[in-house]
Amino acid sequence: MNTLLTTKEVAAFLSVSYQTVRRLMYDPLSPLHYLRIGKSIRFEKKDVLAYKYFQKRYTQLNESQRCEVRDYNG
C-alpha cells in the first residue's frame, strides 16, 4: 500500500521548510506531485522519493530508476 505523507512530514523528509514544499507543489518546470483528499493535501512516499533523487514524478521514471526508489522506500 502507498504511504501518504503530510506537508510537514515531507518538509522534514526533504530537510526544507513547510513553505518550500508548498512552493515546490506549484513549480512550473518540475512540480512535486500531490493528492488532494477533501481539504487535505497528501503526498505519496514514492513520489516524494522520486522527486528527491530524480526531480521527477514516479510515473515518469524508467525501470532502473523505479528500482532505486523502491530500494530507498524499503
Tell me the C-alpha distance between 4 and 48, whole Å: 10
8, pLDDT greater than 90: yes
**Residue range 10-17: average pLDDT?**
94
pLDDT in tens, 27-64: 988 899 999 999 999 999 999 999 998 988 888 888 98
Model pTM?
0.86
Q: What is the pLDDT of residue 74?
A: 59
- Give the CATH class of 4-73: mainly alpha
User: What residues contact 28, with CB distance under 8 A and at least 6 apart?
Assistant: none
Find the mean pLDDT for residues 58-71. Answer: 86
Domain extents for the chain? 4-73
